[in-house]
Amino acid sequence: MTYSNPYQQQWPNQPAPAAPVVAGWDDPNRGGWDTPTAAWSTPPSRARVNQPRSGEHLLDVRDLRVEFGTRDGVAHVVNGVSFHVDPGETLAILGESGSGKSVTAQAVMGILDTPPAVVRSGQVLFGGEDLLTVSADRRRQVRGQEIAMVFQDALSALNPVFPVGWQISEALRSRRGINKADARRRAIELMDMVQIPAAAERVDDYPHQFSGGMRQRVMIAMALAMRPKVLIADEPTTALDVTVQAQIMDLLATLRAELEMALILITHDLGVVADVADRITVMYAGRVVEHADVHTLYAQPAHPYTRGLLASVPRLDHRGHGLHSISGTPPNPAAIPDGCAFHPRCPWAQQVCRMTAPTLVRIGRLDRASACHFPPEALDARLA
Amino acid sequence: MPVLPEPILRVENAVKHYPISRGVLLPKKVGAVKAVDGVSFELRPGETLGLVGESGCGKSTLAKLLMRLETPTAGRAYLKGHDLFRMRAGDLRRLRRSMQMVMQDPYTSLNPRMTVADIVGEPFDIHPEAAPKGNRDQAVRELLDQVGLSPEHANRYPHQFSGGQRQRIGIARALALRPEVIICDEPVSALDVSVQAQVVNLLERLQDELGLAYIFIAHDLSVVRHISDRIAVMYLGRIVETGTSDQVYLRPTHPYTQALLSAVPVPDPTARSRRQIIRLTGDVPSPADPPSGCRFRTRCWKAQPRCASEEPPLSQRAVDPHPSACHYAELHQVIA
């Protein structure tokens, strides 16, 4: 029995290769694909993207609201989330399951299933352009090419019946229209870049032949194939062992610095965040409850939820008796409590917390805010 | 020296090999996946033994062996003096009352068609001689109360509960027969951080109240540190280092333990510059074909020719008085 090489054939249901999307991209004289440095040179398509004006952020999400229509009513999953990232920066979005962090990422990527999801309001400004209002074609150009995503479960995110190299270079073939030999060469380069050993021999292997950590590297290579400006990593190391997790986080940090990407790291792990993030946005019940730079957040958490979260992490270097725990469970997005969503679990809760939802207010320095009726000093005073 | 109580569970050289066979009509055994390959340890009443290691090191298989959910290939395991591995079905069932298990995934380990009362009360159907005389509902309600669930929830179904609450149901089921040993296989891995702390605290409280002994399996080294009295570190089906929690965490002598500990993320950004992560290259080798000699040598930065030829025994090393399976064991503090 012979297996046909996918490099020699088309993906099923895919139209025959059209003219290159970008003229001159596959021009052999451009010196493009063969030399890794040249390969990273800005492709011509970038010219079309509006360059951010000074004072603007690379990606600026404002007041994003996402709802899901369910049988039990409308689930308010994302309720007015704002954040921004700049090139070369790592923003961590921290939250437990059900906090809306993954849905936020999917809304930014434009990969939400609509319906059941509905983006109610908000703006996703990428280089000054609101991605929520642009045409589907334009959106498709940005997705993967400018903003790319690494998913949590690499085994289910990869197609089991195609070799990894073929999947890594799929976007290059379909969007840049480069030929198969070049695509294969590019896949090897990308696999080298994410430090997969013996890339040239492994390019034709299938996902099941790789370990969990190597599969995650394949995912990263695939996301980086188009050299995006923003990389969203949704729980990239959750399914991995600590030793492998450390390798993957290192790799992401190195690539972010080398390629001057903005990295949005979505995670529930306070340990991972402390190692790599520059700034942290903490989400609870679809809202941002606190954002701060990483050092401030860990040293002086302002919001009671952040405080509880930090206290409930078991630590290697502190062996104490009894772990602090936050009572109760995160709310169901179809039935978020009135007022502050955290009030049923908050040891500081007062009448005002049950009545009115606190807004995100700036604390002290620029770019640090917390959504609590009580300033951190007041919380400290109540503790004493 | 304080007199230690008699161990309630003693495992000697437990082995589980899964055969690899080729051929359809006349399958021929061509090899074996050595999931657990000679593990020995003791568990004393009321103590917690933490079992840590990367995925594929055999820790869950070991748990299944101890519950006799898998048939061991070799070895012995004595629970209160009776050999678990050589027991017939009837005797085994009676003995199992003393040892119960809490599973990892609270979403798949509870039957969605049974009410909480049925789930928690099912052990009484299987072990009628251990069932409470008289009012069984009362016993179920007490169990639910003991794990922090409202007894009014007894008639609900598992899908009406959150992950943390489901894990409490699993714990209540394990407690029903008043066991002395509970094997917890990654009991908090599927839970959120804030809920994880609740379940860990519950397990600790139950241990104090009921004098339970735990075998606590987890890949999260911080949780294991928090709950365990003694630790065993597994790699490719063998224990490579064991000792008290402080011995293993503060004075690790096996390079694998050191690497594992150094890679644990610390929730403190000021520690970034101080931390030295020992980076292991590559992945765990296949348990079907483990390396000769020391199994860790393919990823070890200290490996010498001797490591390939001679397997290091798990024995006391000069550097610190706890067993470590390394020829070149030396102290290396990784936790500040």
Q: Rounded mean pLDDT of chain B?
A: 88
Residue A25 reports pLDDT greater than 80: no
CA dihedral B332, B219, A331, A306 (to 10 degrees): 10
pLDDT at A36 over 60: no
**Whether the predicted pLDDT of B20 surpasses 60:** yes
Measure the N-to-C terminal CA separation of chain A; round to a whole number of Å: 76
pLDDT of A66: 92
The reply to whether residue B193 touches residue A242, judged by beta carbons under 8 angstroms, is no
Mark yes or no for CB contact B196/A312 under 8 Å: yes
Contacts of B234 (CB under 8 A, 6+ apart): B39, B51, B52, B53, B57, B58, B59, B62, B240
pTM of the model: 0.81
User: What's the CATH number of domain A59-141+266-313+331-383, 3.40.50.150, 3.40.50.2020, 3.40.50.300, 3.40.50.12280?
Assistant: 3.40.50.300
Question: What are the residue ranges spanned by the domains of chain B?
Answer: 253-335
Residue A87 CB contacts under 8 Å (≥ 6 apart), including other chains? A58, A229, A260, A261, A262
pLDDT tens-place string over residues B214-225 = 999 988 888 898
pLDDT at B172: 93
| Cβ within 8 Å, pair B267-A96 | no
> Residues of chain A with pLDDT > 90: what percent?
20
| Cβ contacts of B264 on chain A, cutoff 8 Å | 242, 271, 316
Other C-beta atoms lying within 10 Å of the C-beta of residue B98: 16
Q: Which residues of B touch A241 (CB under 8 A)?
A: 54-55, 219
Q: Which residues of A touch B194 (CB under 8 A)?
A: 96, 308-309, 312, 325-326, 330
Using omega within 30 degrees of 0 as the cis cutoff, is the peptide bond preceding A115 cis? yes
For chain A, the domains span 59-141+266-313+331-383
Can you give the pLDDT at residue B48? 94
Whether pLDDT at A71 is above 90: no
Per-residue confidence (pLDDT) for residue B137, from 0 to 100? 85
Residue A21 in this model has a pLDDT that exceeds 70: no
Q: Distance, in angstroms, between A124 CA and closest chain B CA?
A: 29
Nearest-CA neighbor of A66 among A102, A95, A104, A97?
Answer: A104
* Model pLDDT for residues A227-266, shown as the tens digit of each residue: 899 999 998 888 788 888 888 888 898 888 888 899 999 9
Cβ separation B222–A315 shorter than 8 A:
yes
Q: Average pLDDT for residues A279-299, to the nearest whole number?
A: 91
pLDDT at B175: 92
CA distance B250 to chain A (A): 9
Residue range B249-279, pLDDT digits in tens: 999 999 999 998 888 888 888 877 777 888 8
Within its chain, how far is the Cα of A320 from the centroid?
34
CA–CA separation, A18 and A36 (whole Å): 26
How deeply is B329 buried, as exposed, middle or buried, from its count of CB atoms within 10 A (0-12, 13-18, 19+)? buried
CB contact under 8 A, B267 and A326: no
Model pLDDT, residue A55: 60
Residue A327 structure tokens: 């009572």
Contact B198 A325 (CB under 8 A): yes
Please state the rounded mean pLDDT for residues A91-110: 89
For residue B61, pLDDT over 60 is answered with: yes
pLDDT in tens, B65-105: 998 888 999 999 999 888 988 888 888 888 888 999 998 88
Q: Which residue has the higher pLDDT, A45 or B129?
A: B129
List the single residue in A with minimal CA-CA distance to B200: A323
Question: Which chain A residues contact residue B150 at CB under 8 A?
Answer: none
